[in-house]
Amino acid sequence: MDALKEWLLSSGINLTVLWDPIDRDRFILGLGLTVSLAALSLLLSLLIGIAGAVAQGSRFALLRQVTTVYIEVFRNTPLVIQLFFFYFGLGSLLPLVQGPDGESMRLMGNFEWAVLVLGIHAGAYQIEALRGSFEAVPRATVEAAESLGLSPAQVLRKVVLPLALRNSLPVLGNGMAQAVKSTSVAFAIAVPELTYATNRIWSENLNVIETMVLLFVTYFILLGIVSFLMRRLELALRLPGVHTA
Amino acid sequence: MSHSSTTLAAPRERRTPPLAGLVLAALAIAAAVAWHAAHPGQAATLWQWLPALLRGFTVNIGMGLGAAVLSTLLGLMLGIGQLSPWQRVSRSARWITLALRNAPWLVIMFAMMAAIPFEIELFGHYFQPSDWAKVLTGLALGGAGYVSEIVRGGLRSIPAAQWEAATSLALDRRQTLTKVILPQALRSMVPAWMNLYCTLTMATSLSSLMGIVDMMTVLQECLAAEANPDLLLPAYGLVCVIYFLYIYPFSRWSRRLERRWSHHG
């Protein structure tokens, strides 16, 4: 490590993340927060997406209206402002609770708000994406399931969902990539994820270029992993005869 | 992917029912009235801020337009480049597009703030690019990655027969692209492009994190001066409403075009 440090420094590359323990911990914490923010908000957005897609196919006009209003509001306003609205606006209305070290704190911290808002925001997009996949399930398949005596709930759970979720894999991949990228906006409410962590590092060490390149490469690799996993998943879940390779 | 041709439950007409708008408006008004009853005097404060906020919003609109134009130019080059017969060109255009699409816009904006020097010499003239221009460039680069894919998809959607027909009329590649393929591809590209415009305009709100005085910054200055935490919720709500009123018509329009053109296209 020392040799590497000497060599990098002598080439003018001050990549403190490699040898400064404080910067290294910040970076690793940031990476962990980015990944968990992305995973949790994606999960939330998928739940919202499935519920919303079902609601939009519902017989009740009011349910469809409410879903549409939700989609339009969250798709047509900026994510940062949603984040501020929830974190500062609603967050200030939350009750104070005793924190672990005895000091009083809000019921939800910035990480929890970020998960919630990123999830709700992405959910509005997932509904549209999942709806298309639901509609692509052949009518005849649903009728066949009904004629076998399955209840509507069973048809949904055992026939429509498995097919619809498979149909949605390509769109889901997009959603995952978007989820990883959106986490950087949590910078705005000081969640120490990758962007925030590296921003701290480069403003303290004045090694903007090296650290920024590292940041770009990290996101690039994260998204590469996402698309690799999605391709594997698509192959693993492929139904012969339904999906062509 | 190939599915059987019959689809589930005759896809309900995707027209957004006007009722949804009414429900939304009713909800918003009800919330505003309830809040006003609980916190009198706030409405007047927000009303006072409105002119300054809207002046700030012109910065966002201007940046959005500038970024849209710049990203369209860059994206057109990248998108056409992706389909270039020269492998070296197509491969580098593909990689640049991928790199731009794989980076969060906020990070690209930070990178441009750091990478664009404080002074640029161009043809013997010295320019000092403002922070505004740097952030705009960052946004435009992020947008260019998307335009590149929109253009590639649009061009690919034109049947190969059109290329062959143009070639047989002795048009060269450039003429084929500008006179035959692009005009036809434009139709399928416009709705996606308008979506991108909406996304870019909304993303300009990130510029306040970089010290640009946009609507958000103005709002935060107002809030700091007032120092009344009860104002936070309605104030951020107001900014959301302003964005919504500007963006929503565009996104409706884009969806209408998409629906109209997807049937015979």
Q: Assess contact for B8 and A160: CB atoms under 8 A.
A: yes
In this structure, the dihedral spanned by the alpha carbons of residues B60, B61, B63 and B69, taken in order and rounded to 10 degrees, is 160
Q: Which residues of A touch B244 (CB under 8 A)?
A: 73, 76-77
Averaged pLDDT for residues B175-202: 91
Task: Kindly give, in sequence order, each residue whose CB lies less than 8 Å from that of residue B168, ignoring residues fewer than 6 positions away.
Answer: none
Q: Which residues of B touch A56 (CB under 8 A)?
A: 12
B129 or A201, greater pLDDT: A201
pLDDT of B8 above 60: no
Question: Cα distance from A160 to chain B (closest Cα, Å)?
Answer: 10
Residue A106 pairs with which residues in a beta bridge? A96
Among partner residues B19, B232, B243, which is closest to A92 by beta-carbon distance? B232
Q: Which residues of B touch A139 (CB under 8 A)?
A: 6-9
Nearest to B190 by CA among B161, B238, B153, B164: B153
CB-based contact A68 B104, cutoff 8 Å? no
Nearest to A196 by CA among A121, A111, A139: A111
- Counting beta carbons within 10 angstroms of the beta carbon of residue B48, is it exposed (0 to 12), middle (13 to 18) or buried (19 or more)? exposed
Among all residues of chain B, which has the CA nearest to that of A134?
B8
Averaged pLDDT for residues A121-130: 92
How confident is the model at residue B10, as a pLDDT?
41
A136: helix, strand or coil:
coil
Share of chain B above pLDDT 90, in %: 54
How confident is the model at residue B9, as a pLDDT?
42
Exposure of A175 in the CB half-sphere (CA atoms within 13 A): 29
Nearest to B210 by CA among B102, B84, B106: B106
Q: What angle do CA A190, A195, A197 make, to 5 degrees?
A: 70
What DSSP line would sit under B208-234, residue for residue? GGGT---HHHHHHHHHHHH--GGGHHH
B37 or B8, greater pLDDT: B37
CA R_g for chain B: 23
Among B102, B112, B222, B254, most A C-beta atoms within 10 A, so best to mutate, is B102
CB-based contact A137 B7, cutoff 8 Å? yes
How confident is the model at residue A57, as a pLDDT?
82
Token duo for residue B103: 């980076």
Among partner residues B27, B115, B239, which is closest to A81 by beta-carbon distance? B239
SS (H, E, C) A11-64: CCCCCHHHHCHHHHHHHHHHHHHHHHHHHHHHHHHHHHHHHHHHHHCCCCHHHH
Question: Cα distance from B5 to chain A (closest Cα, Å)?
Answer: 7
Give chain A's largest Cα–Cα span.
75
CB-based contact B1 A167, cutoff 8 Å? yes
Is the torsion defined by CA of B110, B112, B115, B120 positive or negative? negative
pLDDT in tens, B194-223: 999 999 999 999 999 999 999 999 999 999
How confident is the model at residue B18, as a pLDDT?
60
A49 or B265, greater pLDDT: A49
pLDDT in tens, B107-123: 999 999 988 888 877 78
Provide the 10 A C-beta neighbour count for residue A84: 26
Nearest to B104 by CA among A188, A77, A36: A188
pLDDT of B264 above 60: no
Whole-complex ipTM:
0.87
Q: Assess contact for A44 and A120: CB atoms under 8 A.
A: yes
- In angstroms, the CA B175 to CA A198 distance is 47
How confident is the model at residue A144, as a pLDDT?
92
pLDDT in tens, B51-79: 999 999 999 999 999 999 999 999 999 99
Place of tokens 């253009």: B151
Question: Cα distance from A92 to chain B (closest Cα, Å)?
Answer: 7
How confident is the model at residue B99, as a pLDDT?
93
Question: Cα distance from B205 to chain A (closest Cα, Å)?
Answer: 7
How confident is the model at residue B136, as a pLDDT?
95
Among partner residues B23, B102, B232, which is closest to A220 by beta-carbon distance? B102
pLDDT in tens, A40-67: 999 999 999 989 988 988 888 888 888 9
How confident is the model at residue B15, as a pLDDT?
52
Averaged pLDDT for residues B258-265: 68
